[in-house]
Structure 1
């Protein structure tokens, strides 16, 4: 439970997933993604820029 809470908290602070992976000592990024997935509200801060065709 501690790893999941820690991974989630670091992701909420905006730390890149690769940095969280190193911090948690995961060899496989899929393990880290499992711990950091969760809060869809995080994505509300993202501004999408529509791509225009040339």
Structure 2
């Protein structure tokens, strides 16, 4: 009887630990993806500002 409770607690503990690990892994992946997306948006914004500056400068010479 005591052996079956130990086995059940061991299985539940392992499943609970795996669930926590999967959740934390998912959160870390989402945070990393958001950081990459934000960095990409900054790069694209910089290119647009550069292109707009070039257009203004080109129009100033015309």
Q: What TM-score results when the alignment is normalised by the length of structure 1?
A: 0.27
TM-score, scaled to structure 2 = 0.24
Query: Going by fraction, where is helix more abundant, 1 or 2?
Result: 2
